[in-house]
Structure 1
Amino acid sequence: MKRKIRHIAAASLAATALVIGTAGCAANGGGGSDSAEELTMWSMWSKGEPNQLIMADAVADFEAETGIKIKVVWKGRSPVGKLLPSLNSSTVPVDIVDSQNAELVNQLGATGNAADLSDIYDVAVPGGSETVGDVLNDGYQADLTTDDKVFMVPYEVYTYSFFYNVAEHPEVASAPPATWDDLEALFAESKKNGEAAPIALEGSIPPFATFWTTALTLNSLGKGSFREAVADTTGKTWLEPGYLEVATKLQSLVDNGYFVDDYLSAKYPAVQQQWAANDADYMYNGTWIPVETAPYAADGFDYGSFAFPVVGDAKPVMQVAFNGLAVLEKSKKQEAAKEFVSFYLQKKYQDRIGSEAKSIPARTDSEANPAMAGAVEVLNSSETVLAGDNVPWDDYMTKVFHPTNMKLFSGQIDAEGFVSELATLSADYWANNDQ
């Protein structure tokens, strides 16, 4: 079901057969300058960051090969927020914006300030015959489709995974858990051995617990199941048996004492530091964790990962978020700007996102950071959905879901209390708020 965009990402991908023009076709104007041979781009990266260095090299190569100049302003995080004040003018000072999907889609796209990039997916990536659509996971295109328009093209992907130290658990690397039953057995064995607590969870940050609930719901009941329950204005969906089964499985983690002792009281980032010091075996978190925890990891820590396992014979669903490029609707140099968007998806730059930025390239044929290999293998062959099951209602999550979910994770309520409370609070919330 398509939706109007408000929060987590959504954009569009219509499969039109237009061919992106070359530099010569871009002579009809430009965003912030009079010359068709110069574009302006605002980037989310700061000078010296690995992603900045990769993009700067791509810009230099693009200029040399096309004759089109790109003035890059390295704005640092949230460039769209810094751009918004200028968007009401007849012209804007920027042609291309580099940022995360939540900004590009929900701020630029939703307000009509981003151009439709549907046609780019049918354009060949320079240096080969494959199109942009060919080199990306098919699911990414569907995830970024809203109202038959696409407002960004991703070059970097984030997902959620279980992380662990391969040096401590080589058996997991050779046979990662594929089902929830396998995972529970892994936790039980870990606790039985008593060498470390099974699970590190930053319980002081409610969304970290929600990562678990969303993932288990999706991998039990399928893509869209979490959003469906949140969107039900009567709240009754939460009372369906499948949601109670999810809550019961989560309750068992609490009842069995699988979380580290101070998971509710420790101040972030104390728990992830404990985990990196081998004081816990597993952490389910975003794929930024290996880079974020590396400075205080134990000697010889060898990062490994595996995807959230399925329940029974359910199909795996991987949550994704993106960094990517958008083109301003008011830019008079859209064709030249689009040319750079496809140019940046060349494999030589994508490979460096894995090896130097230590992240996940958007291209499925580029190798990700080895710490994420286990999860990426599943990612590239599974159904995907925007992080949080594409739920756009932040206020609901903050006021209703996160607090109730933390009651379950802290043992204040049981599974039946969890779904009952969500049903009641959801009905009350939607009775007083618009979707």
Structure 2
Amino acid sequence: MSEAEASHRAIARWTSRVIPAILAGVAGYGTYVVVDRICIKFLYQERNQPAAIIVILILYFLFLLLSLWSYIKTIWTINTDTGLVPLTRTPPSRASSKKQSRRKKEGDIESQPYAASAAPDSDPNSPGLERFYTKEVFICESDGRPKWCPDCCNWKPDRAHHSSELGRCVLKMDHYCPWVGGMVSETSFKFFCQFTFWCALYCAVALATSAYSLAEIIHEGRPMDGHIIAAVAISAFFGLFTFSMTLTSWRYIFLNVTNIDMLKKAWVYQLAIQVPRGTPSTDKYTTITYPLPEFSSPQSPAAGVNGHATGPTSPVPAQENVSSARDQMATKTFAVVRTEHEENPWDLGWRRNWEEVMGTNIMDWLFPIRKSPCARHDVVESEYAMGTLVNTIKERYGLDKLPREGSGGIEMRDVPRESRRSHRSQRS
């Protein structure tokens, strides 16, 4: 890690610790103004309006408690379950980290193809590869292999990105937010949205109460109360901020995108889609077969840049590579295809997009109880649920017309049956 990176992370870490304390002080001051200066001294002692006081205090403390609950849940999740991609090997040395830092200054490292100094692991049995080819669809590079993080020395799952603040790859990373103490990702984005929503309502109550009191004071020609003026300014600032954040977050949820997605210069994805075993490359797409062959490493980084994928393995002498029928059944072939500009493979429709993040019932929508369903990663076909675009791409590239295999998995009885038939024929 370079000195600049270490300094940047230290600043981010201390900022994330200081700002929550400042917010706690602001909430405490707002409570003092609303309860003491407005409700007790102005509305009760001077105007004798107990009904208004009851309504204000119920709404104020209801939204305050819900804001605190979701805020604490957000901070707790960010610090205990950030959503980091597990490391499968030792990170690079300080020297290589400095080289990667120079590459980052030249542009977005995640938008660049493999570079010679950032070449992915060429081992066919590279740790973590099985996470991808056991799925039916995954995001890949031009050579058919998953995206590689040179900083973590890791294969990056779909929608994972490297965080310079944390020095690690984060699953479905959204943004680094010092207001909530760290990185907002798939594990905490739902709670973050709930916090901004409840906080916007809390600020609205504080703003309405203080603005009404200030207007009445001005109307009666009485001396101005500096605390009430401060409450109007503070609640208006944080109210507009949290309201805009709520609208932005909801928009991202309904579109099933993240801040990182919206900041990309080119919104185009390359997908590896499973096709029948042994499907050859064509002029429309290239293919790659997993597990990668032991006798030849994956293609060089230069080949990946030029868009050529590792095709089906070529035959080798029987004495060098004898595969059992079970091993043959275990292989998977993928076609490497590309989406059109701004096509989103994870768009499931606005309702399912909402449910993937916020849950399926109103209790989940309103209260920070359970994490987002998408954080469970219980989808069999891909890392995250994908929409109808995958079928559209299959039709676009003619993958839907390929002959279908009987089963995408391995049937444990297939090989013994073949063995028994062979044994019977030998005996006869």
Q: Same fold (TM over 0.5)?
A: no
Q: Normalised by the size of structure 2, how large is the TM-score?
A: 0.25
Quick check: which one's helix share is greater?
A: 2
Quick check: which one's strand share is greater?
A: 1
Query: Rg larger in 1 or in 2?
Result: 2
Query: RCO higher in 1 or 2 (8 Å CA, sep ≥ 6)?
Result: 1
Q: Normalised by the size of structure 1, how large is the TM-score?
A: 0.25
